[in-house]
Every structure is written in C-alpha cells, then in structure tokens.
Amino acid sequence: MGKSILRTALAALLAALSLNLMAQNRATGLLTDLVGEASALYQNGYRAERQMTDLAEGEFAEYQYAAIRSSRPTFSWIVPQSAGRNNIVQRWYRIVVDDNPADAADHAGKVWDSGRVRSAESVAVPYGGADLAASKTYYWSVQVATSAERGEWSECVAFRTAEELQPYACSFRPQVREREHPTTIRKIDPTTTFIDFGRASFCSLEVTLDSQRDNDTIYIAIGEDSKDGRVNSRPHGTVRYYRYALPLRKGRHTYPIIPAHDRRNTGPQAILMPNYIGEVAPMRYCEVEGYAGNISREDIVRHTAIYPFDYAAAQFHSDNDILNAVWELCKYSIKATSALGIYVDGDRERIPYEADALINQLSHYTTDREFAMARRTSEYLLNHPTWPTEWILQALIIVWNDYLYTGDKRSIEANYDILKARTLSSLRRENGLISTTDDKVKSDAFRSSIRFGGNIRDIVDWPRCGDWEHGEDDNYRLADYNTVVNAFHYRALVILQQMAQLADRTDEAEQLKAECDKLFADFNAHFFDLEKGLYRDGIGADHHSLHANHFALALGLVPEEHRQRVLEHIHSKGMACSVYAAQFLMEALYEHYDDDYALAMLTKQDERGWYNMVRHNATITYEAWDDKFKPNQDWNHAWGAAPANIIPRYVVGIRPLEAGFGKIAIAPQTSTLKQMEAVVPTIRGGVAATINNTEQSYTLALKIPANTTAEVSLPATGDVVAARLSINGRNRKVQILPNGRIDCGTLGSGEWLIRVDY
C-alpha cells in the first residue's frame, strides 16, 4: 500500500475512532462468547442479505453463522467515551437477554435481566440466567452508565446456539469468502492473457468467457510465483502451481476453477475446508492460454477464503519505509492465512502446531479485535498436541495469552489439569531439570497425561541442520538436558503458578512458586558458564548458541547482573535463527529495552530478515527467511509474521498490564524512528498513538478507550536533567524509572498530549 493511501486510511480510521470515543452514548463492539457479529448470516461463505431475525427455524440449515456453543456464554462491549471528557469509567451495567424480537425491542429481559450491576466489568461478563437451550435464537443488549453520563441501550445483538451445548465451549465464527478482481491484466500474445491479483490468497477461481462453438479447449494456469512475466510453471519446494484444461461451451458462460485436492494437506491430521466453500489453493497469478478474446476485470473473480477479518482495525505507519513494508506484509499474512478457521502451518500440511499458533495468536490480537479463532486453535491443540517438547510446553503460554487479551478465564478453568500435565514436570530428574532422553516419554501414563500418542523430542529451532549456513539453529549442540527446553519448562511453571492463583488453588500456587524458585537456581547452576558469562546449549556442551541465550533471556531466566553480557553475545550473532525463533529474539531484545538493535533486526535488508521476503515480491510471509534455508518451504506460513505483533506490542508499546486490558502499558520504543502513527485494537476498543521525535522534543498523542487506565512511559532521548515534561499542557515533575525511561504516570481514557522538551 502506498504511503498516501495508507495515510488516508489511517486518517479515516482515526476519525472513526474519534467518533466512537466521543460521539457515541451507548456501548458498541458487542461480543457474544468472544464472537463479534454473532448475528451475521452467510450463504456459501458470502454475507447474506437476510437477517437472523427473519429466518424460520427450518431455514437455518441453508446458512452459516457463529453458533454459540456455551449454554452460559459471556458478554463483552466497548464502553462509550463522552465528548471532551477524560478518565471515563463505567459505574454500572444492565444486560438483558430475550428469545424473541418483540421482547428484545422492549429490553424486557424475560430470559435474563442482570438488573443494574454496580461494576466496571465490561469484558467476559458471565451470563447469569437459566441454561440457554440448543438450536435457538436469542437477543441481548446492554445499557451502561459511566462517570460522565447514563448511556442509551446498545444495539440488540441476535445470536443462535449450537445443536449441542456445554456450560462452557469455545464459540467461533464461520469461514467466509470475499470476491476479488485482478489488479493487472495484460496480453502476452494473441491467445495468452496474464492476470495478477496483486496479493496471494487461499482461493478458488471463476472465469467468464465467450466461445463460438462447443468443445474448444483452453487452459487455465494458477500459481503463487511468476517468472519472466509468466506464471512460474516449475516452482520449487511447496510453492503452488496448477494447470487445468477447460472445454468451453458455445456462447458466454461462467466456469468455476476449483483446485484439486492435495493428498498431503487433506490427510487425517489436516484441517479440511468446509464443504460450503470447497477446496482452495494459495494463488496470486493466473494465465488463460489458448483464448483469443479480451478478458476484463469483471470476467475474472477470485473467491478468497478467510476467517472474518476487519482490515481497518489496526494501522501502522512510520518514517521508515522498510518497517512499513514489513508491517504490511505481516499484517496481510495474518488475514490471508486465516482461511482454515484454525491456525495451521501453511499449505503444505495444513496441520496446527503450537509454535505457529503462538505467533498467529499474538499477531491476530494486534491486527484485529478478534479472539475466538485463537481460542479455538488453542483448545484444539490441547487435544491434538504435536511432537516437539518445547511446543508441548508452549500450550501454557498460548492459554495465558488468551486470558491476558480477553480477560476470560474459562479456558484456564476448563483445561487446568491438562495444562498442569503440559508443564512436563513428570519428566523432572534429580538435578531439577527435565529431559526427554529416557523411557519416561514412552510410557503410556505419560503419553496419556499430555494426550499425545507418539514420542516427543527436543527441537530448539526449525528446520534443524548440522550446517549452520543452511540451518536455523546456530549449530546448537543437543544434549540430554537442553537449555532451551528447560527455559520453556520454567516459563510454563511460572504461568501455571499464576493460573493456580487465578483458580483459587492457593496451596498449589505456593508450592509452584517454590518449584519456580528452585528451577531458576538449578537452571543457572547447570547451564550458565561463569567463565564466559553465557549460557551453554546444554549440560556437557561447550557451545554457547544464540538460542541458549536469547530463549533464556526472553523466558525470564537471566539474572540482572548477567543481562548485559548476554545481550552483547546476542548482538554478535545477528539473526542466526529461524523466523519462528525470531519471535522470542525480538521479545528478548524489547523486554530489555534494547530497541536500537531490535529495530536494526526488524529492518535488516540481507537474506536473513523480513525485508528479504518483501524484496522477493512476497505478499504472505515465508516459512523460512529464504528458499536456500528450506528448499521445501511454502510461501504462506504465518509463523513468519512476528512483526505483526512485535511492532504494536513493542515499537508502539501497547500491551495488557491486566487481563482484558483493564490496565494498559503504553511504552513506545521508537529508537531512531522520528514519526509514527498507529492504532492497536483491544477488547475494550482501539488505542491510537501518534509520535513525533526530534532532537529538541518527544511528543506522544494518545486516544485511550473508556473504562481503562494506562501506565505510560517514554524513552529518554535527550538530557533528562534538563528535560521538561507536560501532559495536556500542564507541567509534571520528571521522574526516571529504573529502566531509564521517563515515567508519565497513570492516565485514564480520552485524549492526551504528552511532551518532553530537552
């Protein structure tokens, strides 16, 4: 997207955000069981003209919709922000649920009326009536009063329950389709037309052509890659190319081009496309061969499959064009790879893996106000785990991220026992560390506890290769006890302790705290090389890989006195890891305010960086940095899209400090960036930030949604002794945090202009 177009889109989004913050006097953004637009109806994947309220009971089978699977769902909404007022908080809410349009219009609450509840809760508020019935349409709305005024009733949202209900089950939206036309059509020769849709997507195709007679045969070629101005008919690896013969009929007709099934990605472990959409394949380019007629944009339709996605929900633009291009590539990748409705590894296998899901999840949260697909994937993986040891452990990180971004703890409560098993504490040895090198991992009891029928084994990074020049693991030396594996074990234990506290398992939480403290000590005793000041790859290893050090730093195991030496070592290694491990490398750097080096890694232009994909004309992120590092890679792997979450979470600096964004951290790390504009979606509404950074001053303009507070800090870009801080024109005392940043205090909702002059 060009700079002017992006600025126009951002300006429109900020204007819309202002309207939402300032002009509305009622709750918006209603989520039913974390599902947005629960009343939306689709037919064959396309948005239907009819409304859920129009349908008779027997008609629902013809449509797709978000069937609510919980008999006791939760409700969430965005609290209205009063015009010209800051620090708006919700004082009370009232939710009503009805089972017919007339009662719903009157806000009768005959199914359930919460009454006025004096509470600031606005996310994951539990339904409090009798269990909902299966296969039934309900309606809910909410009225709120804030510290500024009493609001009007929200819109009334219809939703329909599934055929089978549980007190809690993960609800989600159906996969849908978008109609798209080409961006470029050109004749290669009198009978060959080349077509470019501008970006790749998972899709089928439809062509409308004229023929003078029956049985004239033409050919349709589709693919992801182009070469010498044609669709590349011999792409490498798993890059897709298909060619189909198409017999024409006399006259003008429309012909569907449905990709053939691939045996590898439609097997027993793969996620299949629903019948109402049919098979799809990743495709950007098309050629029509043997056809002498002219083809217009309207004659070619690409039916792109996605999970419903609001592309305007998040925006980012800075004065660094490379960073902007990386952001756009990664953001679009999250939308394009949502086609299966569950996060998968790409088109080669279409199998969910935890490592892919973790990066997809965080990136989806930061590019759209959408939470249900991530939860569906998380709970799928709890029942269908994959083989790498570290990825088994990542299940706890994924579920905890879900709680942080939604404020909804039901997934933790429903899955606590399996999450406890996924810490792999049963593999702990006398030295306090875990290992997968003995027969414990082969026992039926262990396999049953983690719901995995095979043998798990350590992976460190992927793909693994003995030659660093062609692998992604920095020549990591695998041992019986591996540093990276035990770092993930520690992080899983820390999270389980927090989960135990949340579930009121006080005694267990105290025991887990003691286990965490002991593991921290054991980890550093066994893996830290005092002479080098670095972490070894494992017990007995004499190698100090990037991975051993950056995973230890990212996962919270490096004592403060060793962090600088570890960071220096990380700097010496460059991007000696895969696109997957780069997620944790970037987190390690930004969590320790190493934003100069982190920005250099985000924008590096050699073959081991995200911009390398942009340079190769990619529109969806690769599975590896370059084809040379994984010859069988596919070109549609969202685990390569880490900047989609790293930029909003760390460069812009917007993250949840409390579950459900009741309290927000706003701590931009802009390094050499001089200008930046962004909107980051949250469950409570979008946060907008505009930054101007000069030698004389640093300014941050914020729009914060109602019913939240934000702890704000700025980088110290000049002499802090002479610095002057003002917030909305009022001078504040400059206070420096232990990390060297300028503390701007806690701000409520509304508009704020923070300025530091030097």
pLDDT band at 4 (very low <50, low <70, confident <90, very high): low
Let me know if residue 577 belongs to a domain.
yes
Overall domain count for the chain: 4
Residue range 221-229: mean pLDDT, rounded = 97
226 and 188 within one domain: yes
Q: Which CATH number fits the domain that encloses residue 527?
A: 1.50.10.10
Q: For the packed helices 483-502 and 410-421, what is the interaxial angle rounded to 10 degrees?
A: 140
Residue 272 domain-assigned? yes
Q: Where are the beta strands (DSSP E) in 365-425?
A: none
271 and 253 within one domain: yes
Longest dimension (CA), the chain: 84
Please, where are the H alpha helices in 283-353? 321-336
Give the model's pLDDT for residue 5.
45
Q: Classify residue 389: in a domain, yes or no.
A: yes
Residues 426 and 572 in one domain: yes
State pLDDT tens for residues 153-166.
Answer: 999 999 999 999 99
pLDDT-derived band at 467, boundaries 50, 70, 90: low
388 and 257, same structural domain?
no
Q: Is residue 552 part of a domain?
A: yes
Q: What is the pLDDT of residues 571-623, one digit of tens each?
A: 999 999 999 999 999 999 999 999 999 999 999 999 999 999 999 999 999 99
Instruction: Mark which of 152, 173, 194 sits at the end of a domain.
Output: 173
Query: Is 296 inside any structural domain?
Result: yes
The verdict on 521 and 416 lying in the same domain is yes
84 or 93, which is more confident: 93
Q: Are residues 481 and 379 in the same domain?
A: yes
Q: Domain check: are 119 and 249 in the same one?
A: no
Domain stop point among 602, 622, 651: 651
pLDDT of the residue at 10: 54
Q: Kindly state whether residues 601 and 617 are assigned to the same domain.
A: yes
Q: Exposed e or buried b for every residue in 624-653, given b needs 16+ CB within 10 A?
A: bbebebbeebbbbbbbbbbbbbbbbbbbbb
pTM, full prediction: 0.95
Angle at 656 between CA 650 and CA 662, to 5 degrees: 150
Which residues, in sequence order, are CB contacts of 43 under 8 Å at separation 6+? 62, 63, 64
What are 540-549's pLDDT values in tens digits? Answer: 999 999 999 9
Do the beta carbons of residue 449 and residue 392 sit within 8 Å?
no
Mean pLDDT of 8-27: 56
Q: Is pLDDT at 635 greater than 90 in this prediction?
A: yes
Q: What is the 3-state secondary structure (H, E, C) of 463-529?
A: CCCCCHHHCCCCCCCCCCCEHHHHHHHHHHHHHHHHHHHHCCCHHHHHHHHHHHHHHHHHHHHHHEE
Is the per-residue pLDDT at 18 higher than 50?
Answer: no
Q: Is the residue at 570 inside a domain?
A: yes
Q: Is residue 641 domain-shared with residue 502, that is, in the same domain?
A: yes
In tens, the pLDDT along 308-365 reads: 999 999 999 999 999 999 999 999 999 999 999 999 999 999 999 999 999 999 999 9
508 and 406 within one domain: yes
- Note the pLDDT tens digit of each residue in 701-737: 999 999 999 999 999 999 999 999 999 999 999 999 9
Q: Does 606 fall in a domain?
A: yes
- In terms of residue numbers, what domain contains 86? 3-173
656 lies in a domain?
no
CATH code where residue 731 lies? 2.60.420.10
Cα–Cα distance between 527 and 544 in angstroms, integer? Answer: 10
**504 and 561 share one domain:** yes
Average confidence (pLDDT) over 290-299: 97
Q: Can you give the CATH number for the domain in which 55 is found?
A: 2.60.40.10
Query: In this structure, what CATH number is given to the domain that contains residue 244?
Result: 2.60.120.260
Among 306, 330, 347, which residue terminates a domain?
306
129, 194: one domain: no
pLDDT, mean over the chain: 95
